[in-house]
Amino acid sequence: MTKVVNYISEAFEELKSNVTWPEWSEVQRLTIVVAVFSVLFALATWGVDEIFAKALAGFFNWIKA
């Protein structure tokens, strides 16, 4: 248990002393960029899914006929 506590203590010390944290404005800007690309990627995935669903439906209707 002492090793775990020591590890966590050293990890927090590392975060305080050796990590360069970005400015709040940069964090906000990058968060917006990530959110926008996430929405765009979700829309692109939805669009491709719709196209394949319609293509497969058309294919199976063509086979049935």
Kindly report, residue by residue over 2-26, the tens digit of the pLDDT: 999 999 999 999 999 998 989 999 9
pLDDT at 40: 98
pLDDT at 54 over 90: yes
Query: Cα-Cα-Cα-Cα dihedral of 4, 10, 14, 15, to 10°?
Result: 50
- Radius of gyration of the chain from Cα atoms? 25
Give me the half-sphere count of Cα atoms (radius 13 Å) on the Cβ side of residue 56.
6
pTM value?
A: 0.65
pLDDT at res. 38 = 98
Q: What pLDDT score does 6 carry?
A: 95
| Ramachandran category for residue 21: left, alpha or beta (phi over 0 → left; psi -120 to 50 → alpha) | beta
Each domain of the chain, given as residue ranges in start order, spans: 1-64
